[in-house]
Each structure stands twice: as C-alpha cells, then as structure tokens.
Amino acid sequence: MNMRARMRAGDPDAFRDLFDEHVRSVYNHGFRLTGDWSVAEDVVSLTFLEAWRLRQRVDAGPEDGSLRPWLLSIATNVTRNVRRAARRHAGALSRLPRADVVPDFAEEVATRLGDRERLALVRTALAALRRPEREVLALCVWSGLDYAEAAAALGVPVGTVRSRLSRARTKLHKLVTAGKLRPAGESREPSAGRGQVPVDRTIAVRFAQENPR
C-alpha cells in the first residue's frame, strides 16, 4: 500500500513519516510567508492537524508522487487564516485602554539569534508584495514547486502563477535598484530540503532576477 492509500486509511505511521519528511519544508514556507519564526511554528502545527483532518481527500495520484505540494497548499491556506486572526486580534487590542508600557524583548531575542538583519530584509521583501504574489514567490522560488504544482496548490491557472511571479520579481527588482533591499549576513533559516532555495545573502537579487522555469 503506497503512502497516499495509507494516509487515506488513517495509518498513523504513514502520517508520522509524512511529518518527518516534510515538517522543515512546511516550517520554511510558513516563515517565508510571514517573516516570523513563532508564527511559522503555529503554521506547522495547524497544517499537520488540517492534513490529518483532510487525509481522506488525498487523491490516488502516482504511487511515487510526493505529497509535498498538497501540504504546502494546506500551509498556504493556514497562513492566510493565521494572518487574518492576527489582524483581528491586533484590532481588538487597539481598542482597549492604553496600558503601561511593557518592555519588548523581541529585539533581544533576535539579537541572540543573530537574525535581525535577515528578518528585516525578509519582512521588507514581503511587505512590498500583495498576498497572492508572496504565495507564488514562496512556492515557486523558495519551495521549488513548478508552475503546475503551484497552480494546483493555489487553485489557480498556470498562467496566473506566471503573471503573479513576474509581478513579484518586477517589484523586488525595483526595490533592489532603489537600494531598499540589501544583502545581509549569512542566513540562519533552517537548512532547506531538496528543491528549496534558502534565504542566502543574495536573497533580494535572486528574487528579482531569477529566470522563469
């Protein structure tokens, strides 16, 4: 029985194998869409919970076909929901009476991790793009899906993937040209799996100038 059939049958060992094989890929994808390590951890947890809930929807597919595109599709939807919930939460907090200022330890944590410049660069890049463009960039450039896989993950035509990716690269190229995105130090992002593009020190130029597949 192949992995897809075992997943549909609710085989816990199959699900454990799926987690072990793809957890880093899902974690990296969550970070790439949010620019936040902590949120990426939430994305991982929610993605695999949702994958278990939806296990009977896994199609038969080829026996050796990877379930990675299916997981990244779920992770993309989970990230959308997490971001919407965060906006609602922030809105609710903004309506509360102002409390005494509490020290923000986020900067201290970022310093200990040595990631301040990297996080700032990623967030600048993400902020320059609309959500659909971020998602396509993350799937095609960072996670290494081809156009057809990304289109299936997002539920859009291949032509839409191509146009969104082109717009994303154009915007990032303009930021690079204007000097608003500058390469920083070495990446502290977890090691990327096969087919992924890590956030290296030439991140901005790579985003903007990489040739389409």
User: Are 78 and 168 contained in the same domain?
Assistant: no
Q: How many residues does the chain have?
A: 213
Residues 88 and 122 in one domain: no
Q: Are residues 48 and 15 in the same domain?
A: yes
Residue 212 has what DSSP assignment?
Answer: P
Write the pLDDT tens digit of every residue in 50-88: 999 999 888 766 666 789 999 999 999 999 988 887 666
Give the residue numbers spanning the domain of 136. 115-213
- Check which CATH number belongs to the domain holding 155 and give it: 1.10.10.10
Same domain for 128 and 213, yes or no, is: yes
Q: Is the pTM of this model over 0.75?
A: no
pLDDT tens for each residue of 167-202: 988 888 887 777 766 544 434 444 444 333 333 334
Q: Pick left, alpha or beta for residue 93 (phi over 0 → left; psi -120 to 50 → alpha; otherwise beta).
A: alpha
- For 179-197, b/e burial (b = at least 16 CB within 10 A) is eebeebeebebeebbeebb
